[in-house]
Chain A
Amino acid sequence: MIGHGPEAIVADRVGVRLGGRAVLHDVSLRVRRGGWTTLIGPNGAGKTSLLRAIAGTVAHTGSVTVEGRELQALRPRARALGLATVPQTPLLPADMTVREYVLLGRTPHLGLLGRPGASDRGAVGEAIARLDLDRLADRRLDALSGWERQRAVLARALAQGAPVLLLDEPTTALDVGRQQEVLELVGELRTERGLTVLGAMHDLTLAGQYADRLALLDGGRLVGEGWPAEVLTETLIARHYRARVHVTEVDGVPVVLPARTEAAA
C-alpha cells in the first residue's frame, strides 16, 4: 500500500445532506499515514457526518480516498478491509459473547459465504489478548461494564486488521482514568501496527494531548486545522464554541480550562 503519497486519508470537498439539510459543506481534509487527527467542534458541527462519509455509511458528494483508493468505487467488503470504525454508540447484541463479537471483525476477510480459518481465530485471539479481555471472552456483552464494552468494540475493530481506524467519541461514558487509558491504548496500537487514526472528541484538552493534528469543524465547515497549539486558542474556541475558556500550557501541550463568565459570578 506504499507508493501513493504520504496521505492515508484524503477527503476532497466532501458534502453531506441529511433530511434535506446540508450538514457538511465541501470539507477537505488530509491525514498522513500513521498520523492521528482528531475532529473537534461544537454539537452539530458535522464531526460524525464527516466520519460517516469517510466510512461510507452515508451518501455524500465529493471524494474520499483511503490508502490511494477512491472509496465510492469500492465494494463494502474492500472498504472494510481498509477502514475499521468504532462507532459512538455501538449496537451490542445483549446475548452475544465477547469472542463472537470480536469475530465479527473478521467478516470482510471471510466474504459472504466463507468460514473462519486459523488466521481468523488467531487474529481474534490476539485482539482479545491485546485488550486484556481473555477473562471476559465467553461473557455476554450485556454483562460487561462500560469500560469493558469499549474494549470489546476496540478489539473488534482491531481484529478487522484495517490500516485506518475511525473513532467516534471513544471516551464517551468513561471516567477520567478510563478515558486516558483508552486513548493511551489507541496510541500504542497506532505505533505497534502503524495505524492511521481519525477520531472525533469533545474533550479539547484530551484531544490535544493525544492527537498530533486537530481539525475544528463548525456549522458543517472546516474552520481550523493544525497542531493542537495552533487550533486550541482562546479566540477560536470562543468564536466557534461560544465558550469562555483559558488556555494554558502544561509540558508544551495546551490545556483548556472553562472559565465562569463575570456576569454569572
Chain B
Amino acid sequence: MTTLPTGEQRRRRPPAGEHPRSWLLRRPAPAGELSWRWAAAGVATLVAALLGGLALGPAGIPPGAIAGDLVARLPWTDFGSPLSALDDAVLWELRAPRVVLGALVGATLALAGGAYQAVFRNPLADPYLLGAAAGAGLGATIAIVYAGSVPLPPAAFAGATAAVGGAYLLGRSVGGGRSTATLILAGVAMAAFLTALQTLLLQQDTENVRAVYAWLLGRLSTSGWADVLLVLPYAAVSVVAVLAHRRVLDALRVGDDEALGLGVPVARVRILVIGAATLGTAAAVAVSGLIGFVGIVVPHAVRLLAGSSYRVVLPLSALFVAAFLVLADVIARTALSPAELPIGVVTACIGAPFFVLVLRTTGAAST
C-alpha cells in the first residue's frame, strides 16, 4: 500500500534538534558563547541607529553638514563646523541627548527584561512584573496632579522602587523567599493596589488625565542632557550588575535546587539581580514613561535567532533594544511632525509584526 504524504507531513517543521538558521548565523556558536558575528551586528546596528537618530529630524539639517560637524569636533582637525549656530543647538542640545537617552533607556529595559525572565524562569516576565510600572504611574500621577510640589522623575523613580520593594517584602513574608510564584503574586497584588490608587486620584482630578495618559504611553522628549545625567548612574549600575551575572543566570535555568547544587547562592543572586534590574527600570521609567513591549519581545527574538544562553541574550538584547528605541524615536518625532507620536505606540506597531516575522522564519515556538 502506498501512502501519500499528509498535509501534516508536508508542513513538517525542521527537526527540533536543529538550531534555528538565519542569514546571519550559519553555524551555532560553541556552548552558548556570543559569536563575533552577532556581536558585530549588534554594535553596527546601534552605531547606525545613533547616526540615524542624529541625522534625521523635523528640523531638516543636511546630513553632509552633520558629518562635517562630527569631523570638526574630532581632535587634531582645524576647520570650522559647517553648521549654523541654530542648527548646532538643535543637533547637540535637542537631538543628541534624545538619541543618547533612547539608547540608555533601551539597553536598561532590555537587560531588566532579560534579568526578570531569568530569575523567574518565566518567558512572560517583563521589567514591570513586580509593580514597577504601577508604582511609577502612581508617583508620576501624584507629581502631575500636585504640579509644582514634586518633580516628576524622582516621584516616578520613588514609586517604582517602593512598589517592587514592597512586593518583595510582601512575597517574603508569605512565601519565605523560596518560591518565585508567591513573589509574582505579591507583585500582582501590589500593582493592582497602586493602579487603583492612581485611578482614584485621576478621578478626583480629571483635567490632568491627558497629561498622565501621555506620560503612560512613554516619550523621549527630554529637557536636554539633564535627563541623561539623571539616568546614567542607575543605568550604569544596573547594566553592569545584570551583565556580570549572565553566566549565573544560565545556571538558574535548571531550577533553584539544582542551581544551589551547582554552587549558586540562589536567594542572594535573585535579590541582587532583581534589585539591579529594578533600579535601572525605575530610572528609565522616571524619564521616559512606560515604554512597554521592548523588555519582553526583543530578548525573545534574540533567543530565537542567536541562541538561548543569557551570555548571548543579555548583551545582544541591550544593543538591539538600544538601537530599536533610537529608531522608534526618530519615527515618533518625524511621522506626524510637528506633532509627536508616543514612542510606546511606535515600538508596539513595529515590534509586534517584526516578532511575528521572527517566529515564522525560525519556525520555532518559544519555550
| Chain A residues with a Cβ under 8 A of chain B | 52, 55-57, 75-81, 83-85, 87, 90-97, 99-101, 103-105, 107-108, 110, 112-115, 124, 138-140, 142-143, 160
Contacts and interface: CB of A to CB of B under 8 A. Distances in A.
A11 B262 CA distance: 21
A100 B261 contact: no
Contact of B258 (A78, A90, A96, A108): A90
A77 B263 contact: yes
Interface string B7-33: 000000001110100000000101110
A91 B367 contact: no
A100 B309 contact: yes
B31 A104 contact: no
B268 to A, nearest CB: 9
A143 B262 contact: no
A143 B107 CA distance: 33
8 contacts: A55-B261, A56-B261, A76-B263, A76-B266, A78-B263, A93-B253, A114-B247, A160-B262
Nearest to A74: B263
A55 B259 CA distance: 12
A97 B28 contact: yes
Contacts of A138: 19, 28, 30
Q: Which 3 interchain pairs have the tightest Cβ spacing?
A: A80-B263, A143-B17, A108-B263
B260 interface: yes
B81 interface: no
A155 B25 CA distance: 28
Contact of B260 (A56, A92, A139): A56
A140 B367 CA distance: 12
A34 B303 CA distance: 43
A97 B265 contact: no
A105 B32 CA distance: 14
How many B residues are at the interface, by size bracket? 20 to 34
A94 B262 CA distance: 19
A57 B260 contact: yes
Given A76-B260, A87-B257, A100 B248 contact: no
A55 B260 CA distance: 9
Contacts of B255: 91
Contact of A100 (B250, B266, B303, B367): B250
Contacts of B260: 56-57, 76
Chain B binding surface SS class: helix
A81 B254 contact: no
A159 to B, nearest CB: 10
A143 B14 CA distance: 12
A79 B262 CA distance: 9
Interface of B: 15-17, 19, 28, 30-32, 244-245, 247-248, 250-251, 253-255, 257-266, 269, 303, 308-309, 367
A25 to B, nearest CB: 22
Contacts of A139: 17
A138 B33 CA distance: 13
A30 to B, nearest CB: 22
Contact of A57 (B248, B261, B269): B261
Given A80-B261, A103-B31, A107-B263, A140 B254 contact: no
Contacts of B28: 97, 138
Given A95-B308, A100-B309, A143-B17, A80 B250 contact: no
A94 B248 CA distance: 18
A113 B250 contact: no
A75 B268 CA distance: 12
A113 B17 contact: no
A193 to B, nearest CB: 19
Contact of A76 (B16, B31, B32, B264): B264
A84 B262 CA distance: 8
A143 B15 contact: yes
A140 B17 contact: yes
Contacts of B308: 93, 95-96
A81 B17 CA distance: 32
B148 to A, nearest CB: 45
B104 to A, nearest CB: 23
A96 B367 CA distance: 11
A85 B367 contact: no
Contacts of A85: 258, 261
Nearest to A104: B251
A186 to B, nearest CB: 17
Nearest to B244: A113
Contacts of A100: 31-32, 250, 309
Given A57-B257, A90-B254, A108 B262 contact: yes
B258 A91 contact: yes
Contacts of B247: 107, 110, 113-115
Contacts of A124: 31
Contacts of B303: 95
A55 B258 CA distance: 10
A107 B261 CA distance: 10
Given A97-B31, A138-B28, A105 B261 contact: no
Contacts of A143: 15-17
Given A79-B263, A105-B262, A96 B17 contact: no
Contacts of B17: 139-140, 143
A92 B254 contact: yes
A91 B254 contact: yes
